[in-house]
Amino acid sequence: MLRRAGETAIITHRNADLDAIASAMIVARIAESLGVETCLEVPEGPGKQAKDALSELSLTPPGPCESRTYRLAIAVDATNSPQLGGALKLYLTAGARVVVDHHEPGSLAEASDLAIVDPDAASTTEVAVLLSHALGVRLTGGLASLALLGIVSDSRKFSIVGPYTFKAAQMLVEMGGDYGRVMEFFRRSGQQAQEDLSLRIAKLKAFSRLKLGRACHDILVVATHIGSHESAVARSLISEGADVAVVVVERREGFRVSIRVSQRALASGIQASKLAAFIAEKFGGEGGGHEMAGMAHLPHSAAQGPEDLVDELAERLPGKVGRICVEYRASLQEKERS
Ligand SMILES: [Mn+2]
């Protein structure tokens, strides 16, 4: 498809993270090896870690795309159309569309001609690495290090792995990927995050606005809203003892709901992606993600404002969570008996 197209627009999800930027750069490298020109569209610009990684490894991404029709568009690490933000049109108007991803397939896979999607993979980067390997494309040491950053980041330092997460990492080390440097990058960026004033304020504000609910005796469901840093806030709620953390942020295009669940919730059949889908269904939007991390995108019409949405969620979610875990625990008992 790349060869036939001759020119290709690569698109990441909004505020590309390490996994998105690494996958995009590998796809660009594959295109380059075929002599195909690419542009890279990162809606709303890359996130801080992605930006830092590119400059630290002295990697230059392809230039931004023009506002015209491309013959081929490849979306990476994105599942639902709202994740492409302002670049959705670029994707939808392309002559052919490919999505490379590792989430449960969503609306982008539906709108694509080819979906290279493996929900078992811990990162999109490992899918891209195996793709480049299968095509006989070698990566430079710098790009291999970026890819390691993508894999290590999305696998939460190899605590969530797929059937070929380690295989891809091994290939990258063999190609000159610098694992020591990757670890040092995370150490430094973790330290920066801890000292980040706006993140500290966001966490404390979110905690002060918290709505707490309970389901199935010991499952704690919390909901809150914040202006930014919603994923980090949701993660910190889980590490402070919540089992289901739902964090609402209002953006220009609507509400974004970030969902995280604890190991305890997961052991009772409560998955973040399912809750994201439930929220999207109730409020009219799109939702999906992984077992432990999910995201729902809702239109402005879903609620009067973030506070109202939090109230609604705090009211409805514990019931849903309760039904899931009661059914799940009953099915486990059933299994034990038989
Ligand atoms: Mn990813």
Give the DSSP letter of residue 99. Answer: E
- How far, in Å, is the centroid of ligand 1 from the Cα of 242? 24
- How far, in Å, is the centroid of ligand 1 from the Cα of 124? 5
- The model carries a pTM of 0.83
12 and 142 together in one domain:
yes
Kindly report the CATH number assigned to the domain that includes residue 141.
3.90.1640.10
217 and 307 together in one domain:
yes
Please tell me the predicted confidence (pLDDT) of residue 75.
Answer: 98
241 and 121 together in one domain:
no
202 and 63 together in one domain:
no
177 and 260 together in one domain:
no
Say yes or no to pLDDT of 290 above 90. no
Average pLDDT, stretch 3-9? 94
**Which of 170, 191, 212 is the C-terminal boundary of a domain?**
191
17 and 135 together in one domain:
yes
Lowest mean pLDDT among 133-142, 191-200, 302-311: 191-200
Say yes or no to pLDDT of 289 above 90. no
Instruction: Read off the pLDDT of residues 61-91 as tens digits, 9 standing for 90 and up.
Output: 999 999 999 999 999 999 999 899 899 999 9
What percent of the chain is predicted at pLDDT more than 70?
100
105 and 180 together in one domain:
yes
- How far, in Å, is the centroid of ligand 1 from the Cα of 116? 14
- Binned at pLDDT 50, 70 and 90, residue 59 comes out as very high
Q: Cα separation of 78 and 76, whole Å?
A: 5
**Which of 191, 206, 232 is the C-terminal boundary of a domain?**
191
- How far, in Å, is the centroid of ligand 1 from the Cα of 289? 9
Kindly report the CATH number assigned to the domain that includes residue 304.
3.10.310.40
- How far, in Å, is the centroid of ligand 1 from the Cα of 330? 33
42 and 166 together in one domain:
yes
250 and 318 together in one domain:
yes
Instruction: Read off the pLDDT of residues 242-285 as tens digits, 9 standing for 90 and up.
Output: 999 999 999 988 999 999 999 999 999 999 999 999 999 999 99
- How far, in Å, is the centroid of ligand 1 from the Cα of 219? 27
- Which structural domain range is residue 17 located in? 2-191
What is the overall mean pLDDT for the chain?
95
- How far, in Å, is the centroid of ligand 1 from the Cα of 129? 13
- How far, in Å, is the centroid of ligand 1 from the Cα of 77? 5
Please tell me the predicted confidence (pLDDT) of residue 161.
Answer: 95
185 and 219 together in one domain:
no
